[in-house]
Amino acid sequence: MTTAIDVWGDCFTIAKWQAVVAEALESGGSEPIVNINPNDAREFDAIFLGGGAAGRFGAAYLRALGGRVLIIDRWPFLGGSCPHQACVPHHLFSDCAAQLMLERTFSGQLWFQQIEDKVVSIKSIIEFFRCGRVGPHAVMNYQSKEQLGLEFVLNAAFSIIDPHTVQVGDCKFHAKNLVLALGAKPVLSDIPGSTLKGVFNSQSLVENLDFEPGNTIIVIGGGKSAIEYGCFFNATGRRTLVVARHQVMPMLKDVESRAYAILMMEEQGMEFLENAELMTIQGDSQGKVKSVSIKTSDGIINVDTDFVFMGLGEQANSEQIAQILGLETGERGFIKVNRHMQTSIPNVYAVGDVTGPPMEMFKARKEGVCAAKNIMGQVSEYKAADYPDFMHTHYEVCWLGLSEEEARQRHANVKIMKLPPDNPNGFDVGLPAGDRMMLYLMAKPRMSGFHKLIIDGDTRKILGATHIGYGAKDGFQYLNYLIKKGLTMDDLAEMDELFISPSYFIQLCRLRAGDPHFKDM
Amino acid sequence: MTTAIDVWGDCFTIAKWQAVVAEALESGGSEPIVNINPNDAREFDAIFLGGGAAGRFGAAYLRALGGRVLIIDRWPFLGGSCPHQACVPHHLFSDCAAQLMLERTFSGQLWFQQIEDKVVSIKSIIEFFRCGRVGPHAVMNYQSKEQLGLEFVLNAAFSIIDPHTVQVGDCKFHAKNLVLALGAKPVLSDIPGSTLKGVFNSQSLVENLDFEPGNTIIVIGGGKSAIEYGCFFNATGRRTLVVARHQVMPMLKDVESRAYAILMMEEQGMEFLENAELMTIQGDSQGKVKSVSIKTSDGIINVDTDFVFMGLGEQANSEQIAQILGLETGERGFIKVNRHMQTSIPNVYAVGDVTGPPMEMFKARKEGVCAAKNIMGQVSEYKAADYPDFMHTHYEVCWLGLSEEEARQRHANVKIMKLPPDNPNGFDVGLPAGDRMMLYLMAKPRMSGFHKLIIDGDTRKILGATHIGYGAKDGFQYLNYLIKKGLTMDDLAEMDELFISPSYFIQLCRLRAGDPHFKDM
């Protein structure tokens, strides 16, 4: 390439990567960052277009299998949208929401500041994120280059010539296979007023917010992104109105768990309009949002606001490329693949968000691995199924397996273990407890979470679980794996709990395990 | 009994239990709370003396097996010292430490209050705990009575007549077996000045603290309790000097993990004197602590303080009872038992902390279950081994299996996966991330934790793991179970991570899993 930063051979420290990535992002410069081994004469087994979750893991796996692989990405870092615009900012904002809920609950008590009426700056938190996000980028570049030995061309505008050829600047790269790991982006609204200043989605929020939102925020959507960002906005001290076409949080199917999650949000002041629809967004003379009209079952309501957040789901980053290659695509541009991750065109694979939901990290990464295996001659199939799931409200909400209602449809003898137990005082009781819950436990016990385990009373196998609280996410990964292998309540009862454990599944099972005809708990 | 509160037959709500327990604790009244089924003519299979972790779980299990059981406890609640003086306050204080570290790190930034120089009241937090602790007590009474159907006599001074007979007031209770679940209490110091006002252990701190400690705190001991309370005192804004006879945190054997944990404490201002010994505590004319003398390798140093915390370990609550029954006891009064939990006297069992270390919840509960099984004719053995472990600093510190050093002694081809990776910038890099870590990640990445996985490169089995951060405790329970069953790095690589997961074990394994001769990471 005529102009490029060639990093091959030099060990770039993480600090140096941080400087390089920051510079490239700030300047918007188009100089590609090239890490290609000039001493390797082999043809590339694959070019991965996109070095995000799917591309980077697929490439790493292909390299681990002994193949040669090149990643090409438009961004100056590996890792994709996750650390730049998606998972990482979302987790930061959800941490802020959890922290602010705690501070507001204990405002003026113990050492806590008076914060009841304080409105926290969203703009400052966004700017704080923009400054910090190159840190993880730098680690992933370091890991990819120094530890995984990946070859890449970053910060690169690329064009596809054919299923074996990709061009960057004046340079053409050839490979036996092409893997499209192009990711996804938020669906844009076509509602009148959607292009006014003050309408954001998760991506544009972190990139473009340049004013302090006023005291009322409208969130459109009832899914993960809408709820997660809505809780953050709410926690900053703003009126937050969530407008959902159907239900909010439909993915959490267990009725009782969902009810607790929603109740806790409502108690924080979140407002939900279900079965409602945003009709128009009205602007002022400067082209800024000034109000919205919402159709509800009780008629149309108008709300003044300068900030509308669209949580409408994702669409594929596939347009031009799918057209050039003549790929079959489906709804929202998602590229159609079989279980080998093959597209409709020979030697072209697609992996990750670009192939459609679930838009989850493990799914993207495992699709990348699946493509890598097939390319290297190990026949492999993958289809995401029976996975654990989570989202944030002000809490971490985790679930896996069947809801109680689903379990009762399929099994005759379903048993439930939960905390708080069914009791006349409802949630106003002093358990569960756990890390990050202890202040609530002592003074606001109804806020200290909800745990539920769903068991087949006949086989004693665990059928499902939910946890609303903090600190159970890691455990749900392993628990899901165990449950797919047939974990029983007796197995759980035999484990060694780390008390006070964030979830109480082990101990609840142990209390009942002696009884062949155990009861609910 | 002549005077007693008979609760049999009435459904006591959790709120009602809360009132009853609070009243009994405040009045110090001696009226026993009796829940005995007058319609059951069977002899008790066992009396459990003590309804804490070991006694309550043992009794519940015995009941689940179809036996009849009576719990007698001196306190007006079931659950023992854990919710009253041990795990629950410790977790509250550790939550405060984590929260205060965060607030101090971001003091004056974003919405955080200016808190650098603020000294937080320890007395207020202790009082906050004293008010809140009856909440969990009430839930456990409710659960034990309404859900588990346990019979009990609480708030009861009792005396043992013989291995089958226990007396409360004018009433004698008979059973086929006696199970001693009497718990433990902090070891008292015999150093001169140990009885001065201002010398506390974990138990007396929550019961007796009636003044605001000054700005220097001396912690004696290097174990879990000393470090956990020391970090809390430090986080309140006080100089905290930890005096350990040998090492601090010796239980965390992985050298690198321990070094990170200690470094992070030192960066919070904790001071450690290892291989040092408290010689005397000096008092003032009112009998209050005014200074301490400490012998170090550099000579004796004197430090002014009004507050000394003793974290010297635990001794059995066994004295009189062991003597009356003629039981064999060992060091610190711990009752000797075999793997069936049988003491040296026929039909007398002992379970939980009264039998000695490890003083862990799972060990106490499982010993209770083991005794119950043996009493009910199911031959059962138990000996705590190969368990996961954790403690708090300002962080949650979890570990399991082998340290890297232990692994290298036993295996020829040990592989390590960790975050941050070995790199020229050390810990000053932007990963790991995770829930509760996101603010650090963005602006103080060296504080965002340390994860390490230790693998046998030949069998690919996981040998050990440590996690310093937040949110991995639940996962370590399941991970430990899986590792004992032979979990490999390839199994981990196949799991579905919930990203951003608090630990990175799944994804680190997946990046390497394709390689039969994978490298460190």
Fold of B5-80+135-185+315-375: FAD/NAD(P)-binding domain (3.50.50)
pLDDT digits (tens, 9 = 90+) for B354-398: 999 999 999 999 999 999 999 999 999 999 999 999 999 999 999
Residue B95: list chain A partners with CB under 8 A. Answer: 435-439
Residue B323 has φ and ψ, to the nearest 5°, of -70, -45
| Residues A390 and A384: beta-carbon distance below 8 Å | no
Q: What is the number of CB-based contacts under 8 A between chain A and chain B?
A: 371
Looking at residues A120-148, what average pLDDT do you find? 97
With a cut of 90, say whether residue B2 has pLDDT above it: no
Please tell me which residue in A174, A211, A499, A511 is annotated as part of the active site.
A499
The answer to whether A312 is a known catalytic residue is no
3-state secondary structure A92-138: HHHHHHHHHHHHHHCCCCCCCCCCCCCCCCHHHHHHHHHHHCHHHHH
Cα–Cα distance for residue pair B95/B89, rounded to 1 Å? 10
Q: Among A98, A113, A129, whose Cβ lies nearest the Cβ of B442?
A: A129
Amino acid at A221: G
Residue A335 has φ and ψ, to the nearest 5°, of -75, 130
When scoring B478, B479, B480 by the number of chain A Cβ atoms within 10 A, the one with the most, hence best to mutate, is: B478
Cα–Cα distance for residue pair B278/B489, rounded to 1 Å? 46
CB-CB under 8 Å, B57 with A136? no
When scoring B365, B375, B474 by the number of chain A Cβ atoms within 10 A, the one with the most, hence best to mutate, is: B474
Amino acid at A475: G
Residues A105, A107, A108, A110, CA torsion sign: positive
The pLDDT confidence band at residue A27, using thresholds 50, 70 and 90, is confident
Amino acid at A22: A
With a threshold of 0.95, does the pTM exceed it?
A: yes
Looking at residues A178-205, what average pLDDT do you find? 97
Distances in whole angstroms, Cα of residue B225 to Cα of each of B51, B86, B256: 23, 10, 22
Q: Cβ of A284: how many Cβ atoms within 10 Å?
A: 13
pLDDT of residue A1: 67
When scoring A496, A503, A509, A521 by the number of chain B Cβ atoms within 10 A, the one with the most, hence best to mutate, is: A496
CATH of B190-310, picked from 3.50.50.60, 2.60.40.1220, 3.40.720.10, 3.40.630.20, is 3.50.50.60
CB-CB under 8 Å, A506 with B498? no
CB-CB under 8 Å, A138 with B120? no
For B203-235, give one letter per residue: b (16+ CB within 10 A) or e.
Answer: bbbbeebeeebbebbbbbbbbbbbbbbbbbbbb
The pLDDT confidence band at residue B30, using thresholds 50, 70 and 90, is confident
Cis before B432? omega within 30: yes
Averaged confidence pLDDT in chain B: 97
Structure tokens at B105: 């790190």
Cα–Cα distance for residue pair B168/B434, rounded to 1 Å? 52
Q: Do domains A5-84+129-185+315-375 and A189-310 have the same CATH topology?
A: yes
Looking at residues A191-201, what average pLDDT do you find? 97
Structure tokens at B63: 């009941």
pLDDT of residue B3: 83
Looking at residues A231-255, what average pLDDT do you find? 98
Q: Which residue intervals of B286-421 are DSSP H helices?
A: 319-325, 361-375, 404-410
CB-CB under 8 Å, A478 with B482? yes
Q: DSSP string covering B199-255, please?
A: EE-HHHHHHH--S---SEEEEE-SSHHHHHHHHHHHHTT-EEEEE-SS-SSTT---H
For A249-277, give one letter per residue: b (16+ CB within 10 A) or e.
Answer: bebbbbebbbebbbebbeebebebbbebe
Helical (H) or strand (E) element with A308:
strand A308-310
The pLDDT confidence band at residue A28, using thresholds 50, 70 and 90, is confident
Q: Comparing C-alpha atoms, which of B63, B93, B95 is closest to residue B78? A: B63
3-state helix, strand, coil in chain B (%, to 5): 35, 25, 40
Please tell me which residue in A25, A49, A62, A82 is annotated as part of the active site.
A82
Which segment of A8-12, A272-276, B340-344, B397-401 scores lowest on mean pLDDT? A8-12
With a cut of 80, say whether residue B199 has pLDDT above it: yes
Structure tokens at B316: 């059995």
pLDDT of residue A319: 82
CB-CB under 8 Å, B482 with A482? yes
| Residues B49 and B181: beta-carbon distance below 8 Å | yes
The answer to whether B431 is a known catalytic residue is no
Looking at residues A383-389, what average pLDDT do you find? 98
Residue A115: list chain B partners with CB under 8 A. Answer: 111
Structure tokens at B59: 């009794």
Residue B128: list chain A partners with CB under 8 A. Answer: 109-110, 442-443
pLDDT of residue B510: 98
- Chain A nearest-CA residue for B376: A514
Q: Beta strand B462-469 with B450-456: parallel, antiparallel or unpaired?
A: antiparallel
Contacts of A218 (CB under 8 A, 6+ apart): A241, A243, A278, A292, A294, A303, A305, A307, A308, A309
Fold of B395-512: Enolase-like; domain 1 (3.30.390)
Residue B165 has φ and ψ, to the nearest 5°, of -135, 130
CA distance B319 to chain A (A): 27
Cα–Cα distance for residue pair B403/B409, rounded to 1 Å? 10
pLDDT of residue A295: 98
Q: Cβ of B145: how many Cβ atoms within 10 Å?
A: 20
Residue A439: list chain B partners with CB under 8 A. Answer: 92, 95-96, 99
CATH architecture of A189-310: 3-Layer(bba) Sandwich (3.50)
A31 secondary structure, DSSP code: -
Q: Token match 């009849």: residue?
A: B68
Bridge partner list, B277: B295
pLDDT digits (tens, 9 = 90+) for A461-508: 999 999 999 999 999 999 999 999 999 999 999 999 999 999 999 999
| Residues B327 and B343: beta-carbon distance below 8 Å | yes
Three-state DSSP class for residue A392: strand
Return the domain boundaries, chain A. 5-84+129-185+315-375, 189-310, 395-512
The pLDDT confidence band at residue A273, using thresholds 50, 70 and 90, is very high
pLDDT digits (tens, 9 = 90+) for A60-92: 999 999 999 999 999 999 999 999 999 999 999
Distances in whole angstroms, Cα of residue B92 to Cα of each of A141, B133, B469: 39, 10, 17
Q: Comparing C-alpha atoms, which of A511, A500, A491 is closest to residue B481? A: A491
CB-CB under 8 Å, B511 with A148? yes
CA distance B125 to chain A (A): 7
A5-84+129-185+315-375, which class in CATH? alpha beta
Q: Comparing C-alpha atoms, which of B239, B258, B238 is closest to residue B247? A: B258
Bridge partner list, A296: A299
Q: Among B60, B143, B477, whose Cβ lies nearest the Cβ of A501?
A: B477
pLDDT of residue A2: 64
Q: Token match 């550099």: residue?
A: B298
Cα–Cα distance for residue pair B368/A384, rounded to 1 Å? 42
The pLDDT confidence band at residue B27, using thresholds 50, 70 and 90, is confident
pLDDT digits (tens, 9 = 90+) for B149-183: 999 999 999 999 999 999 999 999 999 999 999 99
Looking at residues A435-450, what average pLDDT do you find? 97
| Residues B356 and B348: beta-carbon distance below 8 Å | no
Three-state DSSP class for residue A46: strand
- Torsion, Cα A477 A479 A481 A485, to 10 degrees, reads 180
CB-CB under 8 Å, B442 with A131? yes
CB-CB under 8 Å, B474 with A498? yes
CB-CB under 8 Å, B503 with A430? no
Residue B271 has φ and ψ, to the nearest 5°, of -115, 135
What angle, rounded to 10 degrees, do the helices at A361-375 and A53-64 form?
40
pLDDT of residue B28: 72
The answer to whether A87 is a known catalytic residue is yes
Q: DSSP string covering B424-448, please?
A: TTTT-SS----TTTHHHHHH-GGGS
Give the long-range contacts of residues A106-115, CB within 8 A, separation 24 or more: A106/A439, A106/A443, A109/A443, A109/B128, A110/B96, A110/B120, A110/B121, A110/B124, A110/B125, A110/B128, A111/B100, A111/B103, A111/B115, A111/B118, A111/B120, A111/B121, A113/B113, A115/B111
Cα–Cα distance for residue pair B51/B48, rounded to 1 Å? 7
Structure tokens at A148: 């995984």
